[in-house]
Amino acid sequence: MKVFAVLALALPAALAGIINNDHLKTEVLVAADCKRKTQAGDKINVHYRGTLESDGSEFDASYGRGQPLSFTVGKGQVIMGWDQGLLDMCPGEKRKLTIQPDWAYGSRSVGPIPANSVLIFESELVSIDGVERDEL
């Protein structure tokens, strides 16, 4: 599938970093502990599987390519739902991000993603460049 589906074109909710608002819902699928969590400006490496909420069909996944996606979080290189939903995350952590259209692609159709789609990403933080993975 195509990486463009993720790239932008123009634990419980009580834990820090978990966002649940009108634009984005995050759910921790696999928790991880670390001393240094993701921050805006970090170059991160993320594996993901993206599906449409409407019918569950997969539109993109990094797993099939065997290489995580690398980008700088919080800098507008990806959709807003990723820039916000992947903050305060530890390497090894897995999150489910449910992203409303206004923090995804809005009224634009992008490849296999219809306009006004709610997107669901199962995301796994593989690493933060320059940060050693903490020993547990």
H helical segments located in the chain? 80-85
Q: Which DSSP symbol is given to 67? A: S
| Cα pseudo-dihedral 65, 7, 86, 80, rounded to 10 | -160
- Catalytic residue positions, numbered: 48, 59-60, 79, 105, 121
Amino acid at 127: S
Tokens of 110: 């992008």
Q: What is the largest CA-CA distance in the chain?
A: 44
